[in-house]
Amino acid sequence: MVVLIEIPFYIFSGLAILFAGVILFTKNLLYGAFSLVGTFLCVAAIYVLAQAEFVAVTQLMVYVGGIVVLLIFGVMLTNKITDKGIITSSYNRFLGAIIAISLFVVLFYGILKINFGAVKGQSADMNNVNQIGVELLTEYLLPFEIAAVVLLIALIGSSVISGYKTKETDE
């Protein structure tokens, strides 16, 4: 039982970090975008392993289906297509590495210091999608609605921002 969960976790988490690493180290935007997809997929798998199936599905739909596509569009729209591929470089590498590594060290240290045995709670029904649905429309109704509004506003806002016909840019 332990092994059954642990092995996929290690595999998916390893893959997720691997893909994330590709994003970090690649110069090609498209590689980055596709690696991101990979990462998202792996993270979705992790969600599943953490008994958050609904979240995993949402992850797949929103991220892999929506955001990544959006990003790839962004890549396409902001770069001239050439045969060399869409190349970007990086800077601040040293600083970035130091910050990232030291932050990781700090977090790692902090995590190790937490005694997670103390927070063991009771386990519940394996399938909690139903419960999510109920709670979403009862207890979390207001945030749900607001999220919808936020999404709408974001949609309108983004189309306004990226719209061509703004006076200032024309002039």
Partner 1 sequence: MINPADLLEPLAWSQSTILCLLVLLLPLFSFIVIAILPNTQAKASAWVGMFMTLIASIISVHLLIAGWQGAGIHSRVEWFSFGHLPPFTVGVLLNDPALLMLVVVTVISFLVHLFSTAYMAGDAGYKKYFGFLGLFTFSMLGIILADNVLVIFIFWELVGLSSYLLISHWNHKESAIKAAKKAFIVNRVGDVGFIIGLAILWSQFNTLDLEALKVLMQASTIENGQWIAGAHSVSLPWLTAAGICLFLGAMGKSAQFPLQVWLPDAMEGPTPVSALIHAATMVAAGVYLMARVFPLMSIDALTFVAIIGSVTAFMGAIAALAQHDIKKVLAFSTISQLGYMLMGMGVGAYDAALFHLFTHAFFKACLFLSAGAIIHALHDYAHRADIHFDAQDMRNMGGLRKYLPFTFIAYLVSTLALIGIPFFSGYLSKDALLSGAYAWADLMSERTLSWHYLVPDLGFITVVLTALYMVRQLLLVFFGDFRIADERSIEANIKVKDVPWVMKTALSILALMSFGFIWSLNPLNHSLSWFLSALKTPTILVPGMNGNWQNNLVELAEHNHMQVTVISVFMIVIGGLVAWFIYRPKGKYAINYFSRQGASNVWQWLSFNNWYLDEIYNDFIIQPIEVLSQKLQLLDTKVIDNFIDKFAIFNIILGHLTAWVDRNIVDGLVNFSVYFVGRVGLMTKSMQGGKVQSYIALAFVGILIFIFWIIW
Partner 2 sequence: MSSEYYFILAAALFCIGLAVIITKKNAVMVLMGVELVLNAANINFVAVNKNNLVSLDGQFFALFVIVMAAAEAAVGLAIILKLFKYYKTTELDKINQLKG
Residues 55-84 that bind partner 2 (CB under 8 A): 55, 58-59, 62-63, 66-67, 70-71, 73-75, 77-79
Cβ atoms of residues 127 and 52 within 8 Å = no
149 interacts with, out of partner 2, partner 1, none, CB within 5 to 8 A per kind: none
The token duo for 53 is 């199936």
Token pair belonging to 87:
């190349």
Rounded to the nearest whole angstrom, what is the least distance from the CB of residue 63 to partner 1 in the complex? 22
Stretch that binds partner 1, among 2-10, 57-65, 69-77, 103-111 (CB under 8 A): 103-111
State how far the Cα of 126 lies from the Cα of 153, in Å rounded to an integer: 36
Q: How far is the CB of 95 from partner 1 (least distance, A)?
A: 5
Among 11, 137, 141, 154, binds partner 2 (CB under 8 A): 154
3-state class of 51 per DSSP? coil
Q: How far apart, in whole angstroms, are the C-alpha atoms of residue 70 and residue 78?
A: 12
Nearest distance from C-beta of residue 25 to partner 1, angstroms: 17
The DSSP output letter for 85 is: -
User: Interface with partner 2 includes 167 (CB under 8 A)?
Assistant: no
- Of residues 105-144, which lie at the interface with partner 2 (CB under 8 A)? 107-108, 111-112, 114, 116, 119-125, 128, 131-132, 135-136, 140, 143
82 binds, among partner 2, partner 1, none (CB under 5 to 8 A by kind): none
Interface pattern 106-135 for partner 1 (x via CB under 8 A): x--xx-------------------------
Residue 105, sorted as left (phi over 0), alpha (psi -120 to 50) or beta, turns out to be: alpha
CA distances to 4, 67, 80, 166 from 77, rounded to whole Å, are: 44, 15, 8, 18
Which one of partner 1, partner 2, none interacts with residue 109, CB within 5 to 8 A by kind?
partner 1
Sign for the pseudo-dihedral over CA of 71, 77, 82, 84: negative
